[in-house]
């Protein structure tokens, strides 16, 4: 399912994708039903959003009788990873650790989540550098002052 992503999707499109990722493949009617209470969208709104996702090549369509079945071309994990890395590409390398710590502090985590994070940090600790190098151009952050 790997596709080269330029993942520029709206919050509304994310809602559609979450339904499709959960269902694996589904019809517009099933998407409408899944989001009816949460979003209150009209069927035409859902179909417009689906059309945009198809245009962006994030969904494929398959005609089955008189309806279309939609399937994601990218996984949820790939998409979340891409969006996260995109955010980090806009932050000074020296601030990424603190940013991750802030996200963790604000997140509800299970014991399993904490165990996984601890394992990842133990591996990162073995490869850690003494000081992270700033990636910014002059004037983009405090650490690059001459």
72 Rama sector, left if φ>0, alpha if ψ -120 to 50, beta otherwise: beta
**pLDDT tens digits, one per residue of 66-111:** 999 999 999 999 999 999 998 899 999 999 999 999 999 999 999 9
Q: Is residue 29 domain-shared with residue 60, that is, in the same domain?
A: yes
pTM of the entire structure? 0.80
Q: Is residue 67 domain-shared with residue 116, that is, in the same domain?
A: no
Q: Mention every residue, 6+ apart, whose C-beta is less than 8 A from residue 63.
A: 69
Q: Is residue 33 domain-shared with residue 65, that is, in the same domain?
A: yes
Q: Is residue 28 domain-shared with residue 65, that is, in the same domain?
A: yes
Look up the domain containing 22 and give its range.
11-72
Q: Are 112 and 35 in contact (CB under 8 A)?
A: no
**pLDDT tens digits, one per residue of 105-144:** 999 999 999 999 999 999 999 999 999 999 888 888 887 6
- The CATH number covering residue 27 comes to 1.10.10.10
Residue 1 covered by a domain: no
pLDDT on residue 145: 59
Domain count, the chain: 2
Residue 62 covered by a domain: yes
Q: Are 16 and 53 in contact (CB under 8 A)?
A: yes
């Amino acid at each position: 399912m790997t596709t080269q992503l330029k993942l520029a999707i709206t919050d509304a499109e994310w809602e559609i994708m979450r339904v499709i990722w959960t269902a694996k493949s589904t019809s517009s009617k099933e998407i409408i039903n899944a989001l009816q209470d949460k979003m209150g969208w009209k069927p035409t709104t859902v179909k417009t959003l689906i059309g945009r996702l198809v245009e962006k090549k994030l969904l494929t369509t398959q005609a089955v009788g008189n309806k279309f079945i939609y399937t994601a071309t990218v996984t949820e994990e790939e998409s979340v990873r891409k969006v996260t890395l995109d955010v980090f590409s806009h932050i000074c390398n020296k601030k990424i650790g603190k940013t991750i710590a802030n996200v963790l502090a604000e997140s509800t985590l299970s014991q399993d989540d904490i165990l996984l994070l601890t394992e990842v940090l133990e591996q990162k600790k073995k490869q850690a550098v003494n000081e992270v190098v700033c990636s910014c151009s002059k004037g983009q952050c405090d650490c690059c002052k001459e």
